[in-house]
Structure 1
Amino acid sequence: MPSEAVPWWRDSSLGAAGSARISAISAWQLAPLATEPMRFSEVAPSVVPRQTVVSVEISDEGTTETGIAAITRYLPEGWKEADPPLENLLSSWLGFPVAALPNEPTTEDIYEPSGHFLQAAVTLAGLDALGRRTGLPAATFLGGIHRSSLPAYASLPSFPDVDGAVDCAENAADQGFRSVKLHASGVVDVDVETIAAARRRLGPSMRLIWDASRAYDVSDAQRVGHTLDEHGYLWFEAPLEEDSSPALERLARRVSVALVPDGMAQRSVGDWARDLTNGIWGGLRLDLTRVGSISFALRLVRLAESMGVQCEIQSFGFPLSQYANLQLMIATRSCRFFECPFPSAGLEDGIVKAPEVIDGNVRLPAAPGLGHGVSVAEIGRDRPLLTPLSS
């Protein structure tokens, strides 16, 4: 990958993209602020899912191509959008002056993407445009197409009770999923009962995953980890705060189930490498739409590959975010599963359907680029335009 100091669309090593430049950007808000709040555990704060979509027009020797990408954000209830535009945060990165970008104040929300929230979307929209221009899947430029499909797991919401969680898991199994991720309630007595009940009712062949969403302290995480060991769960995600490395080291020594970090955690590749060397993580996790750059995401994937662990790429979010992460999954064998929000009703945008799960698997989309095939005309209908930018 080119140096981060040179935008990828202006780097001559990329051939077809070498002489291209961004000539226009538009951004839309697709998910209304009134979207139903959700929680990643019953002890976590309520957040509102919200989607920002970006289109990037790339010009090259008299021709243009437009790409589209989006990020899913989880904002605190009652959050209000700022009125005054912020003087361009990305002008040097984009390579031309931009009049204005939405001014959205930094929140103290652990679920926020790193850096300016539009940066990942702009980069991925450019990648989508490159794919459309060449007629190739974006996976081609992320390391090559290593497979045409992969298994999907149903990623369930958090439930306050055992029956609610396991009934939902059984519903997913009835719809063809052979892998299910349950989210913790954060109430340990409920959670250990849910872990056992899910295995009992879904049977030994169902692949089960547990996501704590940072809900536990060390002693509770150890108790949950032993229960996961007993019932053969694949991994234990986000058991503690990611910055509590000594506690995570103790937990990793005391349980057998693989620990995997929160896919929304923002840390350096060096920090992840240190933790892998110290035996904390049994796998890594990332979301391509939430990291600062494509090159950072690829370094993390290569780190996992070099250390012989999985990099379980996150794809929870609105459909456009799912498509972007699916392309990275296709470009590496270090990710075992596509994460499919289940049920999906709370994360539908009316623009494009999520990647289809058929017999428990998701396939590489036929459309080039990120694979969603969405046009600007489809996005712009009855949607609030945040800002049109042009060079």
Structure 2
Amino acid sequence: MKITHVEVHRIHVPAADPPFQWRHGLGGSAPAGEGAVLRIGTDEGAEGVALFARPGAAVMLDDLVDRVFREELLGQDPFQREWLWHRVWELDRIQELPLPTLGLIDIALWDLAGRVSGQPTWQVLGGFRTEIPAYASTSTFATTEEFLDVADQCLELGYHGIKLHAWGDATRDAALCVALREHVGPDVPLMYDGSAGFDLPDAIRLGRALSEADYLWYEEPMREFSITAYQRLAEATDVPLLVGETSDGAHMNSADFIKSGAATFGVRASTTLRGGITGAMRTAHLADAYRIRAEVHGSDIPNHHLCMAISNTTYYESLVTSRTVVRERHVDAAGLVHAPQGPGISLPAHFDYGPELRQFVEPGA
């Protein structure tokens, strides 16, 4: 079997409804725009697709396919995923590929493998579980009272924990984190994501508040360029750190976070930011060798498959971006997410997604 065509199909990505905010300095949800579906086809009719649903993705992906990817892929065996992953990594040396595009080819090839075998991709990967608990991962709300109300709704709907994305002010965020712990009691798992909003002194200050409030993990308080800064943070605080979300290098970068002692809870694994499915699985296996977690980041459908394939992940991340909480369609009344059943990654074969697009991408896209 050989790859015979590599295509980009443009799709409309609607704006989030209602719109939402992230911390100060990051803005909010994206406006409507043109996303893309990458389609890889073969001489035997097998094909795989990967969704790039960010507004503006179509122009970016059209350019990369025309300049770089098509020539590299045509005539290749689609089952040589390791080789093709390596080729994309080599190309990144000169092309400086945007992080989300590093894994698109890999995702499409894993989708193709599942479709050919008639199995969901998580089973092709080996499979570990058929269900996983979900936690509610909030956007940023205006007041502490709004956060507490959203948390109550999430717990009533069955979510197994709450992760905060707050304002990016160390003093105010610390007070919110303590207030949430006091509000929900000692038994609800709580997490905090700093969205890289702090320097080391403020990250330490906030981390000590999280330690006292018994948070399960402390995620990305600083940009991930200085592993030394994260090492200092781990030494100065007791709250476990979850690291390696947006830094380049996939499992190779994660290895240095682990070696430094900074990954005291674990590292992030995701198809979107850690080199597709292959990069995420390498990261998970690396973390497992050190007996730490590889928590799956994001709630799009490829990451849904990752959750079922990775043994050392704890939760499915379900974004909650509205003050009136509605459970994500993948999350049941018991707060569980069940394994996909269709072949491949289970994206529809057609490309006119329309309103159903939001079934397959995270609200933050």
Q: Is the 8 A contact 1:56 1:125 kept in 2?
A: yes
1:90 aligns to what SS in structure 2?
helix
1:71 counterpart = 2:52: yes
Corresponding residue for residue 215 of structure 1: 197
Q: Distance in 2 between matches of 1:34 and 1:315?
A: 16
Q: Is the 8 A contact 2:11 2:352 kept in 1?
A: no
Instruction: Check 1:186–1:24 CA distance in 2 against 1; reply closer, same or farther (3 A cut).
Output: closer
- TM-superposed CA distance for 1:301, in Å, is 1.3
Corresponding residue for residue 117 of structure 2: 134
1:314 counterpart = 2:314: no
Instruction: Check 1:114–1:204 CA distance in 2 against 1; reply closer, same or farther (3 A cut).
Output: farther
Tell me which amino acid in the other structure corresponds to 1:67.
Answer: G
Corresponding residue for residue 288 of structure 2: 305
1:182 aligns to what SS in structure 2?
strand
1:48 aligns to what SS in structure 2?
coil
Corresponding residue for residue 93 of structure 1: 72
Between 168-177 and 119-128, report the one with greater CA deviation.
Answer: 119-128
1:375 counterpart = 2:330: no
Tell me which amino acid in the other structure corresponds to 1:165.
Answer: F
1:173 aligns to what SS in structure 2?
helix
1:249 to 231, 251, 261: 231
1:195 to 155, 160, 177: 177
Between 26-35 and 293-302, report the one with greater CA deviation.
Answer: 26-35
Q: Distance in 2 between matches of 1:45 and 1:93?
A: 37
Corresponding residue for residue 319 of structure 2: 341
- TM-superposed CA distance for 1:72, in Å, is 4.4
Instruction: Check 1:343–1:241 CA distance in 2 against 1; reply closer, same or farther (3 A cut).
Output: closer
Q: Is the 8 A contact 1:68 1:124 kept in 2?
A: yes
Q: Is the 8 A contact 2:198 2:221 kept in 1?
A: yes
Instruction: Check 1:90–1:271 CA distance in 2 against 1; reply closer, same or farther (3 A cut).
Output: same
Deviations 1:276-323 (A, max 9, x none): 11111121003213333433222211111111110001124xxxxx21
Instruction: Check 1:72–1:285 CA distance in 2 against 1; reply closer, same or farther (3 A cut).
Output: farther
Deviations 1:249-284 (A, max 9, x none): 111101111111253332353332122111111210
1:123 counterpart = 2:106: yes
Q: Distance in 2 between matches of 1:21 and 1:81?
A: 23
Q: Is the 8 A contact 1:249 1:279 kept in 2?
A: yes
1:257 aligns to what SS in structure 2?
coil
Q: Is the 8 A contact 1:157 1:342 kept in 2?
A: yes
Q: Distance in 2 between matches of 1:289 and 1:88?
A: 21
Which one has the bigger strand percentage?
A: 1
Instruction: Check 1:85–1:53 CA distance in 2 against 1; reply closer, same or farther (3 A cut).
Output: closer
1:181 aligns to what SS in structure 2?
strand
Q: Is the 8 A contact 2:244 2:253 kept in 1?
A: no
Tell me which amino acid in the other structure corresponds to 2:52.
Answer: I
Deviations 1:328-359 (A, max 9, x none): 1111111111000114799x9xxxx8423330
Q: Distance in 2 between matches of 1:92 and 1:313?
A: 32
2:139 aligns to what SS in structure 1?
strand
2:46 aligns to what SS in structure 1?
strand
1:358 counterpart = 2:333: yes
Instruction: Check 1:72–1:260 CA distance in 2 against 1; reply closer, same or farther (3 A cut).
Output: farther
* Aligned 1:32-71 pairs, distance under 5 A: 32=14, 38-46=20-28, 48=30, 52-61=35-44, 64-71=45-52
- TM-superposed CA distance for 1:73, in Å, is 3.7
* Aligned 1:149-164 pairs, distance under 5 A: 149-164=131-146
- TM-superposed CA distance for 1:130, in Å, is 2.5
Q: Distance in 2 between matches of 1:262 and 1:119?
A: 16
- TM-superposed CA distance for 1:35, in Å, is 7.9
Instruction: Check 1:356–1:222 CA distance in 2 against 1; reply closer, same or farther (3 A cut).
Output: same
Gaps of 5+ in 2: 77-95, 358-365
The number of residues matched between the two structures is 333
Corresponding residue for residue 84 of structure 2: none
Corresponding residue for residue 243 of structure 2: 261
Corresponding residue for residue 296 of structure 1: 279
Q: Distance in 1 between matches of 2:355 and 2:207?
A: 48
Instruction: Check 1:368–1:186 CA distance in 2 against 1; reply closer, same or farther (3 A cut).
Output: same
Tell me which amino acid in the other structure corresponds to 1:93.
Answer: E
Corresponding residue for residue 160 of structure 2: 178
1:204 aligns to what SS in structure 2?
coil
Q: Distance in 2 between matches of 1:265 and 1:38?
A: 25
2:225 aligns to what SS in structure 1?
coil
Q: Distance in 1 between matches of 2:213 and 2:165?
A: 16
Q: Is the 8 A contact 2:242 2:268 kept in 1?
A: yes
Q: Distance in 1 between matches of 2:150 and 2:243?
A: 24
Q: What's the % identity of the aligned pairs?
A: 26
Deviations 1:152-188 (A, max 9, x none): 0111001242112222111111211121111121122
Deviations 1:221-258 (A, max 9, x none): 11111111111111000011111222211111011111
Corresponding residue for residue 16 of structure 1: none
Corresponding residue for residue 237 of structure 1: 219
